[in-house]
Amino acid sequence: MKISIKDITGKDQGELEVKFELVENGRGTQAVHDAVVAYQAAQRSGTACTKTVGEVAGTNKKPWKQKGTGRARAGSFRSPLWAGGGVVFGPKPRDFTKKISKKTRSLALRKALSERLKAGDVVVVDDLKLSSPKTREINNIILALDCLGSTLIVSNGLDKNLTLATRNVVNVALTTSDSLNTYDVLRPDKLVFTKSAFEKIEARLIQE
């Protein structure tokens, strides 16, 4: 499969041959699901915490005598039935991380990229160097590349001007080829790769 390379004004600058094997048909669908679930699970902090009856501060004294008051029996101020009492089966700090194999993770990324390539949602630019960290400059580039809706820019490495220019633009996010994952590929409407970033992703997928 070949995709066209553009410059920052949107003009064609040749073609790029996709080197990694595209995933066809229904293969890899489960891998994509597992990778996305694992990614979203890893974003959870898992710090929610409630106190059990044994952990709530309070006296062990019986609120009132067992019989003769006309009220329901009560043995503790810390009862789960009372306001301020303990919580039954409440959340405790936990790790939500889900492990998936390296093969599954690689297949998921290849499947996601394959689908975006076939749908025409991937744009490759020869270079994305900005002369200044201005929002207007990156906005003009996004418009020239005809990227409507949400856009993810994937660069080969961290670039100060690019980082500062994109951080205040609505619906535009920035990541690097090293940290790109399946969720990142699926989330935006358009993916904009620099040529070097796309080649690095290809090398990564071929090795895995």
Domains belonging to the chain, first-starting first, are 2-43+100-207 (3.40.1370.10), 45-95 (no CATH)
The residue written with tokens 């949602």 in the block is 121
Give the predicted TM-score (pTM) of the model: 0.83
Task: Give pLDDT, residue 208.
Answer: 67
Task: Give pLDDT, residue 127.
Answer: 87
- pLDDT tens, the chain, 208 aa long: 888 899 888 888 888 888 888 888 889 999 999 999 999 999 999 999 999 999 999 998 999 999 999 999 999 999 999 999 999 999 999 999 999 999 999 999 999 999 999 999 999 999 888 888 899 999 999 999 988 889 999 998 888 999 999 998 889 999 999 999 999 999 999 999 999 999 999 988 887 6
Instruction: Output the 3-class SS for 50-82.
Output: CCCCCCCCCCCCCCCCCCCCCCCCCCCCCCCCC
